[in-house]
Amino acid sequence: VLVLLNLPLYLVFVRPEIEADAGETVRIDQMRSQLARRVNTLNALKEIEKKLSESREKYRQFSAEYLFPQEKGTSELLKTLDEICTEAGLLRNRVTYRLDPEPAFGMQRLAITLPIEGNYANIREFLNVLESESKLVIVDSMALVSEREGTDMLRLDVSLSTLFAVQP
């Protein structure tokens, strides 16, 4: 009889409390799981932000060390090429250059045609000094324009290029 009397009391008072408690436990577990996912996402975003910052710093260092500055890069490059030609014993003629109209990947390319005259040893010296230059200068091509018969003088058009970091 007592069991039968306790059954309605159990169904009316105790069971809803147990079910409510179980529901709250499930909800708390879901919230904890959701919080853990958000913490993981936040940590991943912080790691990405850190890597981006490191990447920007490395790019800035690379630009400072290996690229000519954008604002006065052309004049600095021509001065460097003049010095290298003089050091190698070459005669430099009129230089032509063309700046690409649109930057690509944060860089803008400058193409240069450098006509030089000298003997083979001078040209080798020029290329050797140019290769050891700390700033990035790429030899795209060399075309033999003429050779003075009876002398060892060569006239070459050297196509060079360099990149400037474009400031946002």
Q: Model confidence over 19-76: pLDDT tens digits?
A: 777 778 888 889 999 999 999 999 999 999 999 999 989 988 988 888 887 777 778 8
CA 116 → CA 73, 81, 102, 139, distances in Å?
Answer: 21, 11, 29, 14
101 DSSP 8-state letter: S
Q: Which of 1-5, 68-72, 124-128 has the highest mean pLDDT?
A: 124-128
Mean pLDDT on 92-111: 84
Task: With beta carbons less than 8 A apart as the criterion, state whether 82 and 131 touch.
Answer: no
Q: CA torsion angle for 56, 59, 63, 66 (degrees, to 10)?
A: 160
Q: Could you give the CA distance from residue 127 to residue 141 in angstroms, rounded to a whole number?
A: 12
What local confidence, expressed as pLDDT, does residue 78 receive?
86
What local confidence, expressed as pLDDT, does residue 1 receive?
64
Mean pLDDT on 7-28: 77
- pTM, 2 dp: 0.64
